[in-house]
Amino acid sequence: MLNLDTLLLVQVCVTLLTTALLVASACYAGSPPELRWWAAGNLVVSAGLAMANLDGLPFIFSAIIGYGVIAFGMGLVLRGLRVHGSATLSWRVVAIVTVLALLIPAYFTLVVPSLRGRLCFSGFYFALLNWLCAVTLARQGGWRGIAICVSGFAVLGLALFMRGAHMLRHADPADVPASLVMGASMLAIPLAQVCIVFGMILMVMWRYAERLRHLSTLDALTGALNRGGLENEGKRVALRAQRGRRSLAVIMIDVDFFKRINDTYGHPVGDEVLRHLARMLKLELRPYDLLARFGGEEFVLALDGLDRQAAIKVAERLRARIELELVEIDALSVRYTASVGVVTSDEHGYDLIRLISAGDAAMYEAKRAGRNRVIAG
């Protein structure tokens, strides 16, 4: 038979340690908002558990208020899970969750006194809230970062449900603590708490790692891929086109007289010209095409499935649109043109470096030929 006093001590210690871990993780300036909601929710849940179990407090705290405080903390945790999925949870829902946790125990305490009813309700109700947390996370997808946390919420909900169901079968709650089911549930609860908190921190780590990876491959000014991102993603695009036996087109685009724009209007205007060009090029991309800033005022387009003639048509359309566009910043209106070089894998193979080199040569040929034109290498 499991020693329930020892398990209760373990549960209290695990609750305090996991709460302290979350609070410590949330106590720095750059912590994500969901981590702060999770820390606040765990603090409130810990306070509610203390109210429900300490003997020195008035009876109303252990019989009624403690349940409401625990439910309010679960509402904060659920709100944090929603924020992690780029959504939110209204305070009205949090209030409803809290009020229900107050009204039902108040009914079984003040109207129809029943310790059995109150304990069964708490088991079922908090099991439902934990399962709701698990479902909220599961619907966000990306199991690599959330599987541990979802499992923890599911197991915790199951343990609480088993406790409530077991109490429902006993007329006298005094007989319940000696059961094996109660011992097993009390063993499962701290293990599930560890999984939940470990999973929450792991989710934040994955999110930050993904953001860092994303930032390391993007150009800060234009939002296009940088050269490192082009090298990584371009290999995938080239390999995919080669396996599918499709042509791969590379279009090199360079802003004409960009130094003159900087010297005449200033670097902020030059930066806006580059951002404008990047936004316009992105509108022309299909989901599986690539756009990268290759350096300075030069951009690269990698287009899967376009042969030489189709790529020339796309390049000519882009060149004409660039010529007609007007960049407005403050009181200035600036027009600019671009020289474009086009190459395809039909002539140069699927090596991306070789394609970019050939496209760069074609683009400089367009500049030597008078700029604002398309040259196919």
Catalytic residue among 34, 231, 233, 297: 297
180: nearest Cα among 156, 161, 163, 160: 163
Sign of CA dihedral 284, 285, 286, 289: positive
Task: In whole angstroms, give the CA distance from residue 255 to residue 257.
Answer: 7
Q: Where are the beta strands (DSSP E) in 233-321?
A: 248-255, 290-295, 298-304
For tokens 């090298």, name the residue: 231
Contact by Cβ (8 Å): 167, 177 = no
Q: In 3-state terms, what secondary structure has residue 156? A: helix
Q: What are the residues whose beta carbons fall under 8 Å from the beta carbon of 183, sequence distance 6 or more?
A: 1, 2, 3, 4, 7
Q: In 3-state terms, what secondary structure has residue 328? A: strand
Length of the chain: 377
Instruction: Give yes or no: 347 in active site.
Output: no
- H-only helix segments in 217-257: 227-243
Task: In whole angstroms, give the CA distance from residue 62 to residue 42.
Answer: 18
**Which active-site residues does the annotation give?**
297
